[in-house]
Each structure stands twice: as C-alpha cells, then as structure tokens.
Structure 1
Amino acid sequence: MKYFLLLGVMGIMSCASQPSKRDFERDQVKDIVIGKTTQRQVYDVFGEPIYYGSRGDDESWWMYVHTVSRNSESLSLYFDKEGRVKDVLYSPFRKSLSEKMQAKR
C-alpha cells in the first residue's frame, strides 16, 4: 500500500511545472547569434530547458519559461541539425493577458 501511495505522490509531483533556474538577462539573449551560437553555449548560460523536442531530423527546439507572480517571460530557440541556433523568440510578458485585454477596452 505504501508503495502505491509513494508512486502516486511521485506522479503528481512530476506533473507540477518547474520554473527555470533564473530569469533571462536581456544581454544574455542579445548575445545569441543565429548560425553561430551552439546548443552547448545556450545550455551553459540558461541551463536545462523546461520543454524541448524536435521536428524531423533537421530541427530541434528548446523552451525556457520564467514566471514570478503575474510577470513571465519565455525564450524559445530553434536549432539546425548541426546544433547551431536557427531562430530565437524572446517574449517578455509584464502583464497578464487579462490585464492587457482590459486595457484595450
């Protein structure tokens, strides 16, 4: 019985979102050079990505998300088959979506 309880707790905990180790310094994001910066360099600066995957054999992607209270930001990186940055999407969100929508009224 204790074994199943432990498995259940571990399963629930693995579903919880895990924040990245720190927020993104804009200068660090600006230092990423398309076609030059490697996955290893990104990992050394930003750590383990929250999400990652691949599209076929020639592209992979990593995503970092940092959230504190109602402020969040995301960093998505796409890599070519050689492991070099192909594209970068950085989105600093400083207001919740509902606050942004209310401001447009």
Structure 2
Amino acid sequence: MGKKLAFVVSFLFLLGCLPAGRDFPTVPVKEIQTNVTTKNQIFSYFGEPVEQGLETGGYETWTYYYIVYSVGGVQTRKQLQVTFNKDNTVRSYSFTSK
C-alpha cells in the first residue's frame, strides 16, 4: 500500500506544475528597439522561437512563451512576440508577463 500511495503522491506532484513553451530571459527585452534591433540580435538574446508565422503583408513573426500551469491555474506566464520588417529589423514587439 505504501508504494501505491507514494506513486499517487508523486504523480499528483508532477501534475501540479506543468510547463509549456520554453523559458527565456526577460532582461534583453529592454534592449529591443524598433527599426534598429535585427533578427540575428533577437536570436542571440532569446534563441530559437517557439513559434514562427507571417502577418498580413508578409511580415515574419517570432513568438516566445513560457507558461507554468498548476492545479490552481496559471502560475507563471511570459510571452514575447516580435514582428520583423522586410530588412530583418524589428517592426514591432509586445511583451507580457505574470
């Protein structure tokens, strides 16, 4: 009976904190400048994006996010979305965290 209880408790603990995405540093967000910061710089700051896409007009977007879900809901949330100009500089970006 003790092993079953230990397994159940371990399983519930693992379910208690379920991450999604990939953690990334937030300090470099302050360094981003529209029409100045390049795609290569964004890559060096944050690495490979979790998602890539295209906006209307053909502007490439990179999305970074990290979410930790717990039994009580979202425990941690960070999201950075960067849109690039055709010359590979940052067109716009948004960052949110909880």
Q: Aligning the two structures, in what range does the TM-score lie when normalised by the shorter sequence?
A: 0.5 to 0.7
Q: Is the radius of gyration larger for structure 1 or structure 2?
A: 2
Question: How big is the alpha-carbon RMSD for the aligned residues of Structure 1 and Structure 2?
Answer: 1.9
Q: What is the letter of the counterpart of residue 33 of structure 2? A: V
Identity of aligned residues (%): 24
Is the CA contact 1:51–1:63 (under 8 Å) kept in the aligned structure 2? yes
The answer to whether the aligner puts 1:81 opposite 2:86 as a matched pair is yes
Q: Please give the TM-score of this superposition, normalised by the length of structure 2.
A: 0.67
CA distance in 1, matches of 2:20, 2:96: 19
TM-score normalised to the size of structure 1? Answer: 0.63
**Runs of at least 5 residues in structure 2 that lack an aligned partner in the other structure:** 1-18, 70-74
Structure 1 position 55, deviation (Å): 2.8
Number of aligned residues: 75
Alignment-mate amino acid for residue 87 of structure 2: E
State yes or no: 1:28 paired with 2:28: yes
**Following the alignment from structure 2 to structure 1, what is the Cα–Cα distance between the partners of residues 46 and 33?**
15
Written as runs of structure 1 = structure 2, the 5 A alignment for 1:1-105 is 19-20=21-22, 22-25=23-26, 27-55=27-55, 58-69=58-69, 70-93=75-98
Gaps of at least 5 residues in structure 1 are: 1-16, 94-105
Flag the structure with higher strand content. 2
